[in-house]
Every structure is written in C-alpha cells, then in structure tokens.
Amino acid sequence: MAGRSTGGLEWYIARHYLSSASGGRLLSFITWIAVGGVAVGVSALVIVTGVMTGMQEDLMGKILESSAHVTVFQNGSSFRIDDWREVIASAREVEGVAGVSPFVQTSVALSRAGYTQPADLYGVAVDPDGPAVTDMEARIQEGVHDLGPTGSGLPPVILGNRLAARMGSFNGDTLTVISFENLAVDVMGMPTPRIRQYEMTGTFTTGMYDYDMKNVYVPLAAAQDQLGILEPDIISGLGIRTNDPDEARTVALAVQDKLGFDFYALDWSTTNRALFSALKLEKLAMGLILILIVVVAAFNIVSTLVMVVVDRTREIGILKSMGMTDRRILRVFILQGLWIGVIGTVVGTTLGLSLAWLLDTYEIIRIPPDVYFVDKLPISIRFVDVTRIVAVSVFIALMATVYPALQASRLQPVEAIRHE
C-alpha cells in the first residue's frame, strides 16, 4: 500500500470491486445495469426538459410575433383612448420603450357566400410615426402584407391562412365584416350591427393555429369606421415594444406610473399567464416524475454496493487489519457509487442531447397544431437545465452510497475475516 498514494489506492480498490466478482462476471453485469438505469433517467430528463422549454420558447415567439410586449388601455367601460398622440408621446419617454403605436381591436363576424366565421379584427397604423411594435406590423409597413389601396376602392383586409382556407377566400374577393360593438340605432330605435365590405389583399402565416384561424388586419382608419369611431384621435389601445421582452413587466409598471391612474398597462406574460403557468407546472411535474427514474436507479446502486460489501467482507477485514482506516473504507465505496453515477450521467446526457438534436433537426415527431398550438415537437436545450440535471443525478448517486459505505466501514476486522 505504501507504493500508492492514498487516493490512488482507494480508487484502485473501488475499480477492482466493480469490475468483477469472485465466481464470475455477475457483479460487473449488475454494475452496468445500475449505470444503464441512471443513463435512461438522465436522458429522459434531458429530452423532456428540452421539449417543455422549447414549447415555451416557441409559443413565446409566436405570441410576440403578433402581440405587443406591452399593451396600454384607458380605464372605463368604453374601451377607448382619447387624444392618443399625447399618450404616445408620454409613453415614449419611459426607459426601455423601443416603439409605440395605436391599434383598434374588436371581435367581428366575417361573411362570404353565405358562410360566416367569427374573427378578431385588428386595425393597425400602416405608416406610424416610429418603429413597428410587432413583427406583423413591420411586415405590413414593409409591404410584405398588402394593406394599401385596392382596385375596387374597398378597404383592404388580410386574413390568417387557415381562416382564408376555411372561408374559401382568395385575393380580390369581397368580404363582409359585421361588428356588434358600439351598435348603431335605426329609425325604429332598434340596435343594428355595423356592416362593412372589404377586399381581401393577402394572407399571413404565424404558425400558431389560433392566430392563423382568427386574426384579420385592416388599416386603422377602416377599423375606426367599422366601430363608428368618428374622431381619428380615438383608438382602442396602444402597443409598446420594449428593448428586452423579458423586461416587459418592469416597463409596463413604469409606463403605468408615467401615464397615471387613468391608464393601465399589461405585459405579454400577464395577458398569457394561464398558458405559461400551465406549461411551467407541466414542466415541473414531468421533471419530478422523471427524477423518480433516477431515484429507482439509485436503488440499483444501493443493491450493487451492498452486494459488494457482502461479497468482499473478508477482503475488507484483511484491509482493515493491515491498517486501512474506517474513513478510507468509506471512501472506497463512495467512489464506487460516484463512478456509477458519473458514468451513467455522462452516458445519459450524451444520449439525451443526441436524441434531442435528431428530433429537432429532422422533425421526426409531428403534432396536431389545433391542440398544441404548434405543428412539430419543439426542443430547446439550455445549459442551465442540463447543468441542473447533471448535478441532481450525481447528488442522488452520492446519497445512494451512504448506507452501504457506512456498513462496510463499520465491519470489525476479526468478524469480517471469519465471514463465510
């Protein structure tokens, strides 16, 4: 023993105990079973965590493509903002605000050839004074989606591709839009919906089923006319783009303080809180369930080390009679458990990352977009998530070594040598 360093001797003995057993290769096989259990649990954790993270990021990207980071409304029952240019000027003074633009929003019924479909109508500024607040508005301003003058003289409208397919509409078709907000009153005193005709000038695709199935866009002035808003200084609300989407909540609070109690500002995470809270809870639940796989693998580690203790009892007694301390015996068995945990974790992490790359690159798994909002399985691997999984796996493996290591260290040399 004097020829080897303390750590080297302990690692040598640990490796020797794991590599074979007296009477055959059974212990080696059981050791690899324990390694495989840890690897399966870790790879499952990596893939599922990547899928849940990818789902969150994919949904966030699709939502922010068509929704402002912060929306501002005026308190009251009319859902209107007066003198919006002055409000925009004040909002632009807030730190973190990259752009502000007005919008009109309402629920409508879209009709063509006797078929009617509900939709959400958005009136956007085609030539705003400042940068666009959403990617959709940016494409409209750049002319990718046409909301310019039409040949028929009717106001232009663009539809989500799924909505257009449902209605059988093509460019140049005339669509009837019926709104039930701010109803007009006829000569008999009966409320009547506002009906306007539009010419379809194009479609758009966001990849999010709900948006592609319900959203329609028209110029701001056309939306004001649709709702009977006679003054151009009246709108539904303001959209704000922030420098960092993750700071939207902070900017929303600052904007609300700047504008005063007559207004309230909502960030994108608040308006979609139910969706993202459900995804976060699902991610946590799936993580806890899959950690149980690693815990089960930890029981394999315990059983493996207990078998080592039983099988090597006489050798442990001989080592202790030669002067090896309880602490060093304890370290031998901790090294064995750590070897199983670390190797299993490395194999599982490598396997999980490889499978995640294959699923993401080749889009092997397709899912129904009308149920899950996306049409393929999104995967996003974050370094912090992988680091957390590795740390938890190694920690569980370390905890699994405690009992058998203590049992081995407490063996009495004389009794251990007499063990049959």
Model-level pTM greater than 0.75? Answer: yes
Can you tell me whether residue 81 is helix, strand or coil?
strand
Question: From the first residue on, what is the mean pLDDT of each consecutive set of 10 residues in the chain (420 residues)?
Answer: 59 76 57 90 93 88 91 85 91 94 94 92 86 92 91 95 93 94 74 91 89 94 90 91 94 95 92 85 86 88 85 83 87 91 95 94 79 77 94 94 89 69
**Whole-number Å distance between alpha carbons of 134 and 156:** 20
**Whole-number Å distance between alpha carbons of 47 and 359:** 9
Residue 197 Cα to chain centre, angstroms: 40
CB 225 within 8 A of CB 179: no
**Whole-number Å distance between alpha carbons of 257 and 262:** 10
pLDDT of residue 416: 66
- Residue 29 CB partners (closer than 8 Å, separation 6+): none
**Whole-number Å distance between alpha carbons of 30 and 359:** 31
* Buried-state track 139-158, b at ≥16 Cβ within 10 A, e below 16: ebbeeebebeebeeebbbbb
**Whole-number Å distance between alpha carbons of 70 and 266:** 6
pLDDT of residue 418: 65
**Whole-number Å distance between alpha carbons of 369 and 155:** 31
The token duo for 371 is 């149920």
* Ramachandran angles phi, psi of 367, nearest 5°: -130, 155
The token duo for 18 is 């794991």
**Whole-number Å distance between alpha carbons of 75 and 60:** 27
CB 268 within 8 A of CB 69: yes
pLDDT of residue 6: 53
pLDDT of residue 3: 43
- Count of alpha carbons within 13 Å of 152, Cβ hemisphere only? 14
SS (H, E, C) 134-200: CHHHHHHHHCCCCCCCCCCCCCEEEEEHHHHHHHCCCCCCEEEEEEEEEEEECCCCCEEEEEEEEEE
Q: Which of 420, 299, 309 is nearest to 18 (CA)?
A: 309
The token duo for 151 is 């040949």
